[in-house]
Amino acid sequence: MTSRRSSLDASAAHAGGFFLDDTPTEEVDRREAVLESLAGTVRDLVDAAIRTTVEDEEVLRVRDDLAALVARLRASQLPGPAGVRFNADRRSWNWGNAVVGAANGIAPPLRVVHGPDGCHADVRLGAAYEGPPGLVHGGVSAMLLDHIMGETASGRRRTAFTGTLTMRYRRGTPLGPLRLEARVVREEGRKIFVDGSISDAGGVTVEAEGIFIQPAGTPEFPRT
């Protein structure tokens, strides 16, 4: 088995909280597709584990099989979290991210679409995201909005951290298909004010207002 650490870790040089990594875009794309397919199966596993009704003995056999699979993946590991990396092409990848991480089986994952008036994402949340019966956990709603609003503030050209996030839960958000939207309302110096929402087929379920801050001294790139 080939270890990826040599190219995806040793080449990385720390740069302002992000990692400049010299892995060629083609190799990043290939590895991402492989990890993404694994994460999809892990996601399916999480849902299956929550909803299984098979007998106890079978659950315990599956547990043992899974422990053996985990040991195979542990044969070669990064020393810590995956971090955020980018290369000279400005191809960035954050495979462990809690919301969009391609390798993260507990990320929904959100696929954020950047448009001229803001960002949106369509997502289907299943049993793993339940809070009240049949409804999305309020913290999950906040997490997803935090991410899409942060990405909107960032605009793929600067770093923007959440300073303040205010949520208004108008009604329960049902598990199932949902749309998230976010847009920049205004900017004041390093502060970026962003509105966001989650909707189901019946309209808005959660509204949010956020103040995102571009940390002092961090670079701003031209829009792509």
Q: Report the residue from 189, 202, 203, 222 that binds ligand MYA according to the rule CB under 6 A.
A: 189
CB of 163 to ligand MYA, least distance (A): 3
C-beta of 54 vs 113, nearer to ligand MYA = 113
CB of 157 to ligand MYA, least distance (A): 6
Q: Which stretch binds ligand MYA (CB under 6 A): 5-13, 23-31, 132-140, 215-223?
A: 215-223
How do 85-86 and 18-20 pair as beta strands? parallel
Contact by Cβ (8 Å): 107, 99: yes
Residues 6+ apart with CB under 8 A from 17: 84, 159, 218
Binding mask 140-169 for ligand MYA (x = CB under 6 A): ------xx--xx--x-xxxx-xxxx-----
Q: Which two tokens stand for residue 81?
A: 């979290």
SS3 at position 97: coil
C-beta of 90 vs 170, nearer to ligand MYA = 90
Helices assigned H by DSSP within the chain: 5-8, 25-51, 56-73, 138-154
Binding mask 84-123 for ligand MYA (x = CB under 6 A): ----------------------------------------
Q: Report the residue from 81, 134, 139, 215 that binds ligand MYA according to the rule CB under 6 A.
A: 215
Helices assigned H by DSSP within 3-137: 5-8, 25-51, 56-73
C-beta of 45 vs 162, nearer to ligand MYA = 162
190 contacts ligand MYA (rule: CB under 6 A) = yes
Which residue type, as a one-letter code, is found at position 123? V
C-beta of 204 vs 213, nearer to ligand MYA = 213
CA angle, residues 123, 125, 126, in degrees to nearest 5: 145
Q: Which of residues 31-90 bind ligand MYA (CB under 6 A)?
A: none
21 contacts ligand MYA (rule: CB under 6 A) = no
- Burial class, 4, CB count within 10 angstroms (exposed 0-12 / middle 13-18 / buried 19+): middle
Residue 134 backbone phi and psi in degrees, to 5: 75, 0
Q: Report the residue from 4, 11, 191, 193 that binds ligand MYA according to the rule CB under 6 A.
A: 191
For residues 67 and 72, what is the distance between their CA atoms, to the nearest angstrom?
9
Q: Which residues bind ligand MYA (CB under 6 A)?
A: 146-147, 150-151, 154, 156-159, 161-164, 189-191, 211, 213, 215-216, 221
